[in-house]
Amino acid sequence: MEKPIINYESLVRITRSISMIRDPEEIVLISVEGITSALRVKGCALFLFDRKSEALSLAGSFGLSREYLDKGPVSALKSISSSLEDGQPVAIFDVSDDPRIQYPDAAQKEGIASILSVPILIGDHIMGCLRVYTAEPWEFGLNDVNFVQAVAQVVGMAMELCRVNKGYKDSIDILKSMRDPRTLKFKRRTPYEGVPKSFSNDEMAHQAEA
């Protein structure tokens, strides 16, 4: 499978869209759809970390089936835990043969071959993680990881701003205020539509072709 070239415009589309939004549901959806489209992978999911239960709670996803999302609770201690413990990206090349996968059978049934897990950090605090899922074995390169890390950084800042503005004590409170993340759908824009109105049509067309 030929990998897409992740360029500056791809990152700008997503971060620009996120920067214009104060709705956590849309921030999540734009992030997971944008990553999936830019990398041309099977799907992407965003989880928020609940320190009290040591669980990862789904905030939103794109490209994954309802059956897979309902596979069971995701433990921060059993599901690619090193990504959260060390605060570093972790790439799983073969989900069928890696002890760091909590639900390998469910992943294989879903048609998932490889996973990249990138923590969402606010300073030294781990808010959650972004996970990228591929349908074919994928050697995640530096550009792939850097791209997802950059989006995760922007998402973290945007979600933290939502938390502060809403007066929530913890990021998991944001999730509690949202609708069922397995049924969320876009209300207004995608990463490729959410560009400033000041952009000309020619500029938007040029970026879409890049």
Does the pLDDT value for residue 20 go beyond 60?
yes
Of the pLDDT bands very low, low, confident and very high (cuts 50, 70, 90), residue 84 is confident
Q: pTM for this structure? A: 0.83
- Domain range annotation of the chain: 8-178
- For residues 16 and 33, the answer to whether their CB atoms sit within 8 Å is no
What are the pLDDT digits (tens) for 86-135? Answer: 889 999 999 999 999 999 999 999 999 999 999 999 888 899 999 999 99
Cα angle value 76/94/129 (rounded, 5°)? 30
* Lateral strand order in the sheet of 74-75: 74-75, 55-62, 43-50, 125-134, 114-122, 90-92
Say whether 189 sits in a helix, a strand or coil. coil
Inter-CA distances, 95 with 44, 128, 193, Å:
15, 21, 34
- For residues 55 and 73, the answer to whether their CB atoms sit within 8 Å is yes
Q: Tell me which amino acid residue 178 is.
A: M
Does the pLDDT value for residue 191 go beyond 60?
no
What are the pLDDT digits (tens) for 36-78? Answer: 999 999 999 999 998 888 899 999 999 999 999 999 999 988 8
pLDDT value at position 5? 66
What are the pLDDT digits (tens) for 139-173? Answer: 999 999 999 999 999 999 999 988 888 888 888 88
Here the tokens at position 84 are 């959260």
Residue, of 21 and 190, whose pLDDT is higher: 21
Does the pLDDT value for residue 13 go beyond 90?
no
Per CATH, is 8-178 categorized as 3.30.260.10? no
